[in-house]
Structure 1
Amino acid sequence: MSWHEERRRNLAAEAEQQRLDRKADYELRRQSRRDAAEFEREQKRRAREEKRRARDARRKDRKARRAERARTWTPEWLYGRSTYTIVAASAAASLPAQFMHFGHISPLLLTIPVALEGAAWATFAGVAYADEKRLHPGVRSGLRGLSLLFASFAAWINWLYGKSLAPTIGEGEATVVAAALAAVTMLGPLLFEVRQWVRTLSASSRDPKQRAADKARARHAQQRAKMFKAVAKRQRQILLAAPFGRVDAEEAWRQAWADIEGAQPGVTATVVGSRIAAEKAVSAAVAQSGVTPESAAVELLLAEMFPAFPGDDGPPGGSRKKAPQGGQPGGGGRGVRTRERDASEEATTLGGKGKRANQSAAETEPERPLDPADIARVRTLAEALGGADKLSARKVREAIGCRTDYAIRLRDRVQADAASR
């Protein structure tokens, strides 16, 4: 390789390197300008965001101040501010006249109006404090009397000063000025006293519903203590034995009832005995009627779900007939299935298919009188079911084991006897 060729290659490599350096420098400057522009945009965006947040904060602050003013401008606030304003105006109107009255006599007496007005308003402040702390009524009445005495004395001085102006402005004008000064002197204390009365009454007033609930609760507690004296005495013992406020009154009553009666509130030994006797009576009635307790419970449930109506003869599509006992047609008692009953059921089934059922011989028999024993059993069944109105022909038929017409007559007789009582 010649020297010239090596020289050319070196020059070409240097030129290429310079080109690459210039390109890199250009890319670096362009990236710098791009970063600067991006930074400037970010700064502007942050400044706009900060301005927006400040604007939103000012807006929220204005809304909060408006809401606070709206909450502040309540009737109570307005009444209190207006009263204080009139009180200040009353003091400002009465003091100059007293200064002029005593100053005309001697400059040394100028402290009397300050002491007099100060004593009046100090006692009025004492009235407010006594009302707030709910002190004895005698203390509050005494403070009110002192404050009104001081205010009346100040009003009398202003009256004298107004009347002393008669030689200058005339008798009539002097009387008007004296009356106005006396009235404005008493106006502030009287309005302040009225405000105290209103505040005391409003503090003691309660919601009418709450008052009614409190009265009902007190009446309930009084009646309960009167009816259950021993339990109430035990409750007081529990409450007094425990630290104050530690035991709830109702919890103490439950504990007292358990200690005295040995059961939950409302349950006593007499109640338990009556319940057991009633359950035995129901069991005896159910056993006498021939109905098992399970079937009686099912009957009661069905009676509640499907009330019986007059003429209820059981499910449609025919009746189930049972043969009477002792050879008595339609009589009481449970019997075995007979050929006549099978024929009746077969006739009913055929009738349901469109064929006319043959009239059995038993249906053509003459109506016989009701058996007193059957009537008694139906009455027992009615008592077990909860009343004669719960009876139905189906229930009577299943209990007695008789025909439907006989069951209907028994049911009607028992219901008629129950209605006539």
Structure 2
Amino acid sequence: MSSYREERRADAAAEAEQNRKAAEARAAQDREDRRLELETKLKAKEIAAEQKRKDAEAKAELARKDADAKRRQELADKKVRDQEKARAKAARAAKVGKVVRWLNQNPVTVFVGFVMASSVIPAVISQVGALGDTGVNVLLAALLAAMLEGGAWAITFMGKAAEDAGRPAGKYRIGTWCTAFVAAGVNYWHWAEKLKDAQWVAVVFAASSLFAIYLWDMKTHGSHGRTKADRKAERARRAHLARRRKDHKDIAKEADRLLSALPFGSVDDEEAFAAAWRIHKGAEPGLSPELYATATNARVALGAAFELGEHVRPELVRAGMLASLYNPLSQRLGEGAPTLGTTVPISALQRGTQGATTQAGIGSYGSEPAIEKAREKASESASEKASRGRTDEELEQLLPEAHRAAAELVAEGRQISAASLAKHLKIRREDGMKLRDRVIAERKLRLIDGDGDAAVGA
């Protein structure tokens, strides 16, 4: 019996213990549920707060962007307004500058306009008064006065337009002055009747209708036209043409025939005369076969007067003269004119007195002058003396090139010297002397054989 009770007590205790644990478990579960619920609520609040913060930041950012955009737009609008103001200011400055420049460049026009206005306005008022004193309505008087003064200026400006277009303007000038004299007569009559003791006032008012027209006429016609130098040049041109027609009648008639035969304006008087001269004379204007013959004879006579050195033959005089011939008229008159022989530079002709063979570039017979030899000897260096000279075969091969170099020297009006040949051929001075002697000897042989022109122009 006692064991049964003990078992019952044990079972009750176990059941109580089990219930207690179950209750503790439920309590723990409830606490956990409340904790999780609380955490969920806190998390939800945090999320809501974070979202609210983000919304506030986004709203603030949007507001900042709107403000920036508004500020940028205002700055852009201000910049556009400033640019418009600057452009308007620049345009006004340009207009003012243009007016100022025009005033600076046309002071005569400014003062003429001022004086003309000062002359026309009193004239119109005087005419209105003159017509009004006769009982004419003031409006009609003003219109009639405007007709007189305005008509004069209308005709004046029509004449100016005709002149600018190249049409005759004489009838416009006559009409202008006739109208101006009628207006002046009206003013004079009015003030002469009104101020019989002061006739000079009538003259002044009459002049006011004429002075503006006179001033404008002086400006448009007196400030243009040919200058004194132009008129002097024109007189000289006409005198030149008169002398030309007197001295060259046949050629002038031929030039007139050419002008009438060719299309109008295709050639001028000078071109026609030059063509006629070439037809009759066969040379450029101013030159003729007779002049070339005279120049040739003078050159030959000059060559005969040369003081020739020893061993110089007469044929060499001919060669030297042929080499020194040049156009008797230089520069523009000599352009295109045929020459009578090989020409030489003017600088070469200004080198003092030389012999005929010197002018041909071949010097005198024998070796070079003592001065040239001394200069060549002094300029020889030790290396040149020690270097090996060219053989006769090598010099023979260089002979054609030496002839070409000699021809260039003659064309320049210079002597055929050993130094020049050595420099041109890049050889020793001694070899240059040998080639020089060979070249001069061959050129002399050609001259003696009668081929002087070839020797000079080789």
Q: TM-score normalised to the size of structure 1?
A: 0.50
CA apart distance, 1:177? 1.8
Letter in 2 for 1:311: R
**Counterpart in 2 of 1:352?**
none
SS at match of 1:134: coil
Of residues 196, 199, 203 in structure 2, which corresponds to 1:179?
203
**Counterpart in 1 of 2:375?**
311
Asked if the contact 1:116–1:150 (Cα under 8 Å) also holds between the matched residues in 2, the reply is yes
Please list the CA deviations of residues 352-394 of structure 1 after superposition, one character each: whole Å capped at 9, or x if unmatched. xxxxxxxxxxxxxxxxxxxxxxxxxx99996663145342364
Letter in 1 for 2:46: R
Of residues 88, 101, 118 in structure 2, which corresponds to 1:61?
88
Asked if the contact 2:418–2:436 (Cα under 8 Å) also holds between the matched residues in 1, the reply is no
Of residues 41, 46, 57 in structure 2, which corresponds to 1:19?
46
Asked if the contact 2:149–2:209 (Cα under 8 Å) also holds between the matched residues in 1, the reply is no
Measure, in 1, the Cα distance between the counterparts of 2:130 and 2:204: 16
* Change beyond 3 A, Cα 1:58–1:223: farther
Of residues 96, 114, 128 in structure 2, which corresponds to 1:99?
128
Relative contact order higher in (CA < 8 Å, ≥ 6 apart): 1
CA apart distance, 1:124? 0.6
Measure, in 1, the Cα distance between the counterparts of 2:163 and 2:114: 21
SS at match of 1:135: coil
Asked if the contact 2:185–2:206 (Cα under 8 Å) also holds between the matched residues in 1, the reply is yes
* Change beyond 3 A, Cα 1:335–1:32: closer
Asked if the contact 1:131–1:200 (Cα under 8 Å) also holds between the matched residues in 2, the reply is no
* Change beyond 3 A, Cα 1:382–1:35: closer
Letter in 1 for 2:418: S
Please list the CA deviations of residues 26-75 of structure 1 after superposition, one character each: whole Å capped at 9, or x if unmatched. 22113312331342133224313432442243134213321331122223
* Ranges in structure 2 where 5+ consecutive residues have no aligned partner: 1-24, 238-266, 281-334, 343-371, 395-401, 420-428, 445-458
Aligned length: 267
Measure, in 2, the Cα distance between the counterparts of 1:30 and 1:320: 103
* Change beyond 3 A, Cα 1:38–1:193: same
Measure, in 1, the Cα distance between the counterparts of 2:222 and 2:68: 65
Measure, in 2, the Cα distance between the counterparts of 1:154 and 1:267: 67
**Counterpart in 1 of 2:415?**
389
Asked if the contact 1:322–1:401 (Cα under 8 Å) also holds between the matched residues in 2, the reply is no
Asked if the contact 2:189–2:202 (Cα under 8 Å) also holds between the matched residues in 1, the reply is yes
Q: TM-score normalised to the size of structure 2?
A: 0.47
Larger radius of gyration between Structure 1 and Structure 2: 2
Please list the CA deviations of residues 274-302 of structure 1 after superposition, one character each: whole Å capped at 9, or x if unmatched. 99xxxxxxxxxxxxxxxxxxxxxxxxxxx
SS at match of 2:376: coil
Measure, in 1, the Cα distance between the counterparts of 2:70 and 2:117: 57
Letter in 1 for 2:147: A
Correspondences of 1:28-47 after superposition (within 5 Å): 28-47=55-74
Taking only aligned residues, the RMSD between alpha carbons, in angstroms, comes to: 4.8
Asked if the contact 1:163–1:178 (Cα under 8 Å) also holds between the matched residues in 2, the reply is yes
CA apart distance, 1:311? 2.7
Of residues 162, 170, 176 in structure 2, which corresponds to 1:130?
162
Asked if the contact 1:379–1:388 (Cα under 8 Å) also holds between the matched residues in 2, the reply is no
Please list the CA deviations of residues 179-226 of structure 1 after superposition, one character each: whole Å capped at 9, or x if unmatched. 22122222221222223226755xx99xx9xx9xxx9x9899678656
Letter in 1 for 2:437: I
Measure, in 2, the Cα distance between the counterparts of 1:13 and 1:146: 114
Letter in 2 for 1:12: E
SS at match of 1:389: coil
CA apart distance, 1:85? 4.0
Does residue 193 of structure 1 match 2:193? no
CA apart distance, 1:175? 2.2
Asked if the contact 1:131–1:196 (Cα under 8 Å) also holds between the matched residues in 2, the reply is no
**Counterpart in 2 of 1:148?**
177
Measure, in 2, the Cα distance between the counterparts of 1:309 and 1:148: 92
Measure, in 1, the Cα distance between the counterparts of 2:165 and 2:149: 24
Measure, in 2, the Cα distance between the counterparts of 1:24 and 1:321: 107
* Change beyond 3 A, Cα 1:310–1:134: farther
Of residues 391, 400, 403 in structure 1, which corresponds to 2:437?
400
Asked if the contact 1:91–1:185 (Cα under 8 Å) also holds between the matched residues in 2, the reply is yes
Measure, in 2, the Cα distance between the counterparts of 1:380 and 1:22: 110
* Change beyond 3 A, Cα 1:336–1:62: closer
Measure, in 2, the Cα distance between the counterparts of 1:309 and 1:155: 99
